[in-house]
Amino acid sequence: MDAVWQDAVTRGDVETVRATIEAGVDVNSRDRYGQTALMVAAHEGHAEVVEVLVAHGAALDVTAKWGLSALMLAIVAGHQDVARRLARAGADLTLEGTGSTPGFGGKTALDLARDRGMDALAAELLALTMR
């Protein structure tokens, strides 16, 4: 992921994100940590950037460190609105974190939401898994 693209996503600069997409950037390119722009935007809580990336075909279920997806990163960072948007967009709710790392191993987005006391989000994720 090039520096301009990463900076725009990290800051939540929607206009630069849109312009960069229009210029042909690969929305699924990865940074040095293996994260996509969607993962970074979700972790930072930039809901509008998440929406733009999803609308332009960003892969919802890419994972990086500790096996965490964009949905899981949003939950870990406390961004429930972003997590809802990703879940409703079709993010895989069965993905599990890996290893014995900081409480992520074997846990799904639903587990992470429950662990963090996000009861309303957990209920919504549970309902989506029942479909």
Q: Say what the pTM is.
A: 0.95
Please tell me the chain's helix, strand, coil percentages from 3-state DSSP, rounded to the nearest 5: 55, 5, 40
Q: For residue 42, what are the contacts with CB-CB under 8 A and spacing of at least 6?
A: 50, 70, 71, 73, 74, 77, 79, 82, 83, 86
Tens-place pLDDT, residues 53-65: 999 999 999 999 8
- pLDDT value for 101: 67
What are the domain boundaries of the chain? 3-129
The hierarchical CATH code for the domain 3-129 is 1.25.40.20
Mean pLDDT (whole number) for 76-84: 97
Does the pLDDT at position 102 exceed 80?
Answer: no
What is the percent of the chain with per-residue pLDDT over 90, rounded to a whole number?
85
